[in-house]
Amino acid sequence: MTGLDYLWQALTPLNVLLALAGVVAGTVIGSLPGLTATMAVAVLVPITFSMEPASALILMGAIYTGAIYGGAYAAILLNTPGTPSAIATTFDGYPMAKRGDGDLAITLACVSSVVGGLIGAAFLLGLAPPLAEVALAFGPVEYFWLAVFGLTLISALSEGNLLKGLIGACFGLLLACIGVAEISADIRFTFGSQVLLGGIETVSALIGLYCIPVMIDLVATPDRHLKVTQQPRGFRLKEALAISWLGKFNLIRSSVIGTLVGILPGAGGSIAGLVAYSEARRSSKRSAFFGKGEPEGVQATESANNATVGGGFIPTLVLGIPGTPPDAVILGALLIQGVRTGPSLFTENGAIVYTFIYGLILATVLMLPAGLVIGRYAYKSIITVPKAILVPTVAFMTMIGTYAIRNSISDVVIMIVLGVVGWFLNRFGFSPSPIVLGLILGRIAEQGFVQAWTIGAATEDLTGMFFGRPISLVIILFTLISLFYPLIRKHWATTGGTANAG
C-alpha cells in the first residue's frame, strides 16, 4: 500500500466523523479546569474497544489533540489553565482577554494549535524511528538539566523582581516535596497530617494559584470580568492569520520544540509550552511586551503543546514507551486491542499506523473550524453571562474539577487554601508563575538529580555524570544563554547605541 492508500483509508466517512467527534469532545473536556487531556482520553477509551484499531487510534488521537487545545479557553478567558499544557498560555492570553482581545487570542490559539499539531504529526509521519532514539538518549541527568532549563524561565516571569521570583520558585519546589518521596519513599513535610500524605496535586495547585485569585478580585468589584467592545468582530481569523504569518518562525520553532519535548517520556505539554515560551521571549524583538498580552507568547505555547501530541506518539509507537501521560492510556488501549507497539509496528502493521497518522492530521485540520466555533461560543458566554452567574459557575467548576482528579476533598481544600495564599503573595509582588514552575519542575528535577547522583557516586564520576554528557552540555549551554541573554542583549544595545552615537 502507498501513502495515498492510507490517506484514503483515513478519510472514510466513519473516520472523519470519529475525528470530528473526538476533537469536539476533547476540546470541551479540555476547556473545563481540572479535566486534563489524560482524563479526556481515559474516560472515552472504553468506547474504542469495539472499533477497528486504526479508527480507535484516530478517535483517541483526536480527543487528545482537542483536549490540549481546549485548555487554552480557560487559560485565556479565566486565567486558569484548563490543562497543565496551557500554563504558559495564561501569561499573555489572559492579559489579551483583559484588554478586549480575548476573541483574537482564542483564534490565534486555534491557528497555532493547528500548525503545531500538523508539524508534530509530520515529524511522526516522516522521522518517527530515528527520533525515537532521542528518547533513549535522555537519562536522569538530562531530565535534571531540562528541569533546570525550565526553571530559568523564572528570570523572564519575574520581571523587575528576580529575587521574589526565585523565592516563589523555591516555595513551589518545597511544595513539590510534600508527601511520599518518589525515590526513597520517605514521608516529607506532612507534619503528621493525613491530608498532605498524597502531596500537592499539580493541577489542583494550578487551579488554586491561577483561578482563585482572579475570582477573589472579581467578586470584590462590580466591574466586568473582561473588557468588551461594542461592535461584533467575528472570529478575527484574518487578523490571527496575519499575526501567524508574521510570527511564522516563532510558530515553527515552537512546534519543533514541542515535538522534541513530546518525544521525551514524562516531559509533557506543560514543559514544552514553558520552554517554547522562554525561547520565543528570548528571541523576540518584542520581548518587553511578553507577559503583558503579546500574541507571540500565545503562539509559542499553543503551537508547542499541540506539537507534543505527534511528538509523544513517536516513542509510544516505535519503542512502546509513552511520551506523555495520555500516550500511556492510548498505549494501554492498543495493547487491549492486540496491537503490539515497537520498531516492527511501522512495517508489520503499516496500515494501522499510517492510517492513524493521516487520521491525526485530519483531526488537527478539523480542529480549525471546530475550535473556532467552540471558542467563539466560549468567549461570548464569558463576556455576556452576568457576574452573579459567572463567578459561582467558575467556583463550582474549580471545585468539581479539582475533586475529580483524585476523588479527594482534601485536594479541593488545598486548592482553595493555595488560592488564598497565591492572592496574598500576588499582592505582595510574588507572582504565581514561578511557584507553579517550581511545583511542576521540582519532581522532575529531584528525581533526575538523585538518580544521576546515585549513578555518578556508584561509578565514582560525579563530574562526568553531570557535566560530561553531550546532551547535558547542550542543555547547560541553552540554560546559560537563556539566563544571561537579557544581559548580553542589553550590553549589545548599549555598546551599539554608543557606537551609533559616536
Partner 1 sequence: MQVESKSRSDLAGTVTAVVFILMACLALWDTTSMTDSDSYVFPRAIAAAMIVFCILLIAYNFIKRPADEAAGGTGSASTPRRVGLVAAMLGASLVMPWVGFLLSGFCAFGAIMLFAMYDPWTGRRRIVFPVAGLAIVLGFYTLFSKVLLVPLPVGVWFR
**Amino acid occupying residue 106:** I
Does position 191 bind partner 1 by CB under 8 A?
Answer: yes
Q: What are the backbone angles phi and psi of residue 197, rounded to the nearest 5°? A: -60, -35
Cβ atoms of residues 265 and 60 within 8 Å? no
Nearest to 312 by CA among 151, 446, 55, 131: 131
Decide: is 181 part of the binding site for partner 1 (CB under 8 A). Answer: yes
Angle 140-151/432-458 helices, nearest 10 degrees? 150
Q: Tell me: does residue 167 bind partner 1 (CB under 8 A).
A: yes
| Residue 453, H or E segment | helix 432-458
Choose the stretch contacting partner 1; rule: CB under 8 A; options: 4-12, 173-181, 287-295, 360-368.
Answer: 173-181
Which member of 55, 244, 426, 482 binds partner 1 (CB under 8 A)? 426
Core vs surface per residue 106-140: b (16+ CB within 10 A) or e = bbbbbbbbbbbbbbbbbbbbeebeebbeebeebbb
Closer residue to partner 1, CB minimum distance, 417 or 488: 417
183 interacts with partner 1 by CB under 8 A: yes
Helices 87-96 and 102-137 pack at an angle, to 10 degrees, of 160
137 binds partner 1 (CB under 8 A): no
Confirm or reject binding of residue 460 to partner 1 (CB under 8 A): no
Residue closest to 117 by CA, chosen among 375, 316, 363:
363
H-state helical runs in 295-386:
295-318, 325-336, 345-348, 350-384
Coil, strand or helix: which one is 188?
A: strand
The interface region with partner 1, picked from 9-17, 51-59, 372-380, 390-398 by CB under 8 A, is 390-398
Residue 466 is a binding residue for partner 1 (CB under 8 A): no
Give the Cβ contact number of residue 238 at 10 Å.
10
The answer to whether 453 and 462 have CB atoms below 8 angstroms apart is: yes
Applying CB under 8 A, which of residues 7, 16, 43, 134 lies at the interface with partner 1?
43
Q: Which is nearer to partner 1, 47 or 351 (CB)?
A: 47
Contact 339, 318 (CB under 8 A): no
Binding of residue 384 to partner 1 (CB under 8 A): no
CB of 432 to partner 1, least distance (A): 11
User: Could you tell me the smallest distance in angstroms from the CB atom of residue 381 to partner 1?
Assistant: 12
What is the x/- site pattern for partner 1, positions 74-113, by CB under 8 A?
A: ----------------------------------------
Interface residue with partner 1, options 50, 184, 231, 347 (CB under 8 A): 184
Binding residue for partner 1, selected from 127, 195, 420, 458, defined by CB under 8 A: 420
Does residue 429 bind partner 1 (CB under 8 A)?
A: yes
> Is residue 427 part of the contact set for partner 1 (CB under 8 A)?
yes
Q: Closest Cα partner for 218 from 31, 79, 414, 73?
A: 79
Q: Kindly state whether residue 189 participates in binding partner 1, applying the rule CB under 8 A.
A: yes
425 binds partner 1 (CB under 8 A): yes
Neighbours of 447 (CB within 10 A): 18
Q: Quote the least distance from Cβ 391 to partner 1, whole Å.
A: 4
Alpha carbon distances (Å) from 332 to 318, 340, 430: 15, 10, 41
* Residue (346 or 453) nearer to partner 1, CB: 453
For partner 1, which residue of 289, 346, 403, 466 counts as binding (CB under 8 A)? 403
Q: Which of 276, 446, 469, 478 binds partner 1 (CB under 8 A)?
A: 446
Task: Give, for 132, the enclosing helix (H) or strand (E).
Answer: helix 102-137
| Interface stretch with partner 1, choices 53-61, 239-247, 360-368, 416-424 (CB under 8 A) | 416-424
Quick one: cell of 186? 520517605
* DSSP-derived secondary structure letter, 158: S
Q: Does 393 bind partner 1 (CB under 8 A)?
A: yes
- Cβ atoms of 27 and 44 within 8 Å: the answer is no
Residue 458 Cβ, how far from partner 1 at the closest point, in Å?
Answer: 13
The residue from 2, 50, 160, 500 that contacts partner 1 (CB under 8 A) is: 160
Contact footprint for partner 1 (CB under 8 A): 35, 39, 43, 160-161, 163-164, 166-167, 170-171, 173-174, 177, 181, 183-184, 186, 188-189, 191, 212, 215-222, 386-393, 395-397, 399-400, 403-404, 407, 409, 412-413, 416-417, 419-420, 425-430, 442, 445-446, 449-450, 453-454
